[in-house]
Protein backbone atom coordinates (compact mmCIF):
# COMPACT_ATOMS: atom_id res chain seq x y z
CA UNK A 1 0.00 0.00 0.00
CA UNK A 2 1.45 3.41 -0.89
CA UNK A 3 2.16 5.78 1.98
CA UNK A 4 0.26 9.06 1.44
CA UNK A 5 2.76 10.84 3.69
CA UNK A 6 5.93 9.90 1.75
CA UNK A 7 6.31 13.47 0.50
CA UNK A 8 6.14 15.02 3.98
CA UNK A 9 9.20 15.86 6.04
CA UNK A 10 9.55 13.79 9.21
CA UNK A 11 9.75 15.94 12.35
CA UNK A 12 10.03 15.13 16.05
CA UNK A 13 6.26 15.52 16.37
CA UNK A 14 5.71 12.85 13.70
CA UNK A 15 4.92 9.25 14.63
CA UNK A 16 7.85 6.88 14.95
CA UNK A 17 8.85 5.02 11.80
CA UNK A 18 11.22 2.47 13.39
CA UNK A 19 10.96 0.33 16.53
CA UNK A 20 14.23 -1.07 17.87
CA UNK A 21 14.47 -3.49 20.81
CA UNK A 22 17.19 -2.42 23.26
CA UNK A 23 19.28 -4.30 25.78
CA UNK A 24 20.36 -1.77 28.42
CA UNK A 25 24.13 -1.30 28.51
CA UNK A 26 26.28 0.88 30.76
CA UNK A 27 29.05 1.24 28.18
CA UNK A 28 27.35 1.56 24.79
CA UNK A 29 25.24 4.34 23.29
CA UNK A 30 22.21 3.69 21.09
CA UNK A 31 22.93 3.60 17.36
CA UNK A 32 20.80 6.75 17.00
CA UNK A 33 18.90 8.93 19.49
CA UNK A 34 15.36 7.87 20.31
CA UNK A 35 12.15 9.86 19.86
CA UNK A 36 10.48 7.89 22.62
CA UNK A 37 10.87 4.77 24.75
CA UNK A 38 8.30 2.06 25.37
CA UNK A 39 8.48 -0.82 27.84
CA UNK A 40 6.43 -4.02 28.23
CA UNK A 41 6.82 -4.08 32.01
CA UNK A 42 6.66 -0.82 33.96
CA UNK A 43 9.72 0.24 35.87
CA UNK A 44 12.66 2.58 36.12
CA UNK A 45 14.85 3.33 33.12
CA UNK A 46 18.16 5.13 33.55
CA UNK A 47 18.85 7.22 30.44
CA UNK A 48 21.26 9.77 29.07
CA UNK A 49 19.63 12.39 26.85
CA UNK A 50 20.91 14.14 23.74
CA UNK A 51 21.41 17.18 25.98
CA UNK A 52 23.81 15.21 28.19
CA UNK A 53 21.56 14.74 31.24
CA UNK A 54 21.55 11.36 32.96
CA UNK A 55 18.64 10.42 35.20
CA UNK A 56 16.36 7.57 36.15
CA UNK A 57 12.74 7.93 35.07
CA UNK A 58 9.71 5.73 35.64
CA UNK A 59 8.07 4.48 32.45
CA UNK A 60 4.63 2.85 32.48
CA UNK A 61 4.11 -0.22 30.31
CA UNK A 62 2.61 0.32 26.88
CA UNK A 63 2.87 4.12 26.92
CA UNK A 64 5.45 5.89 24.77
CA UNK A 65 7.69 8.11 26.93
CA UNK A 66 8.87 11.00 24.73
CA UNK A 67 12.60 11.47 25.27
CA UNK A 68 15.63 11.91 23.03
CA UNK A 69 17.87 9.29 24.65
CA UNK A 70 21.39 8.41 23.55
CA UNK A 71 21.97 5.64 26.12
CA UNK A 72 19.84 3.29 28.19
CA UNK A 73 21.79 2.12 31.20
CA UNK A 74 21.65 -1.39 32.67
CA UNK A 75 22.45 -0.07 36.14
CA UNK A 76 19.31 1.48 37.59
CA UNK A 77 16.96 0.03 34.95
CA UNK A 78 14.20 -2.29 36.17
CA UNK A 79 11.73 -2.03 33.27
CA UNK A 80 11.86 -4.89 30.78
CA UNK A 81 11.33 -5.43 27.05
CA UNK A 82 12.50 -1.93 26.17
CA UNK A 83 11.90 -0.61 22.67
CA UNK A 84 13.15 2.72 21.38
CA UNK A 85 10.98 4.52 18.86
CA UNK A 86 12.80 6.32 16.07
Task: Encode 27-64: b = buried (16+ Cβ within 10 Å), e = exposed.
Answer: eeebeebbbbbbbeeebebbbbeeeeeeeeeebeeeeb
Provide the whole-model pTM.
Answer: 0.88
What pLDDT does residue 58 have? 98
Q: Where are the domains of the chain?
A: 19-85
What pLDDT does residue 24 have? 98
- pLDDT tens digits, one per residue of 30-75: 999 999 999 999 999 999 999 999 999 999 999 999 999 999 999 9
Amino acid sequence: MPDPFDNHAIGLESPATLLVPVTPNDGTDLTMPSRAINVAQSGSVRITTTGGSTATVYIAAGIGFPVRATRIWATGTTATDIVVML
